[in-house]
Amino acid sequence: MQGAWGAPTAPLDWCERNYNWTYWMAEPFNTLSSVAYAVVALLLWRRARTLHATQPVHLVTCAALVATAVFSGAFHASLRLGMQKADESAETWTLLSLAYAATWPSTRRRSAAAAAHAVAAAIGIFAIPIVFCEVHLFAVVLFLLWTLHTASKQQPALTEFTRRGAVAGAAAFAVWAVDLAACDLLYRTLPVHPHLHAWWHIGTAYALHQAGSAVLLLDVSRDRKKR
């Protein structure tokens, strides 16, 4: 069935029957659950203001989360290739901003390196349509977790944020994989479709909130030590 956006052009088509609920959204549950990223952006921005974290990288993280919400929603509503790539770029920028903020103190060098990496990643995402985004994103996630785990040895307050983020991210990845690999089985065996990709959005949004909270604490503590 075709809806408002025409035939899908994206290679990914998640386990939600297209235009089954409305003419305007191919995957309404996946579209609406993308709002979770914008909610996390608001929560992290409020936390940054509370902690007096004024570094631009935290604003970049929040802006990238809002962009992820917008482009993820647009992708699932339309299933257009351009929106898929924009979604992948925005989520990559979110994780890169967190990884660079966790790794280096706030300097112009950090900002320049993060910006160059973000541009290079976006080029790779658009130029290499298969595998690049997933492999690069997985590597950035592992690096971020390793950085926060290492920092938590000196700052135990980071431990719970890191643990909760890792657990939520792993659970979200599990439902993402099931949704991708076992769609027909889910429809055949369950009386109500679980919309697992929507839960992926919620799980990863929570994981990003926990990681973002840890990075804020880490960056603020470094700034205080410099004073």
In sequence order, what E strands does the chain have? none
- The answer, yes or no, to whether residue 177 has pLDDT greater than 60, is yes
**In a domain? residue 226:** no
Question: What's the domain count of the chain?
Answer: 1
- What was the pLDDT predicted at 16? 86
**In a domain? residue 23:** no
Residue 81 Ramachandran class (φ > 0 left, ψ -120 to 50 alpha, else beta): alpha
**In a domain? residue 176:** yes
**In a domain? residue 11:** no
**In a domain? residue 21:** no
> How many of the other CB atoms lie within 10 Å of CB of 167?
14
Per-residue pLDDT reduced to its tens digit, 21-76: 888 999 999 999 999 999 999 999 999 999 888 788 889 999 999 999 999 999 99
**In a domain? residue 15:** no
- What was the pLDDT predicted at 6? 85
Q: Which domain holds residue 149?
A: 28-221
Rounded to whole angstroms, what are the CA distances from 223 to 62, 98, 150? 20, 16, 18
**In a domain? residue 12:** no
Give the span between the Cα atoms of 111 and 108, in whole angstroms.
Answer: 5
Is residue 30 within 8 A of residue 14, CB to CB? The reply is: yes
The per-residue pLDDT of the chain, averaged, comes to 91
Q: Whole-prediction pTM value? A: 0.92
**In a domain? residue 185:** yes
Per-residue pLDDT reduced to its tens digit, 129-165: 888 999 999 999 999 999 999 988 888 889 999 999 9
Q: Percent of the chain scored above 70 by pLDDT? A: 97
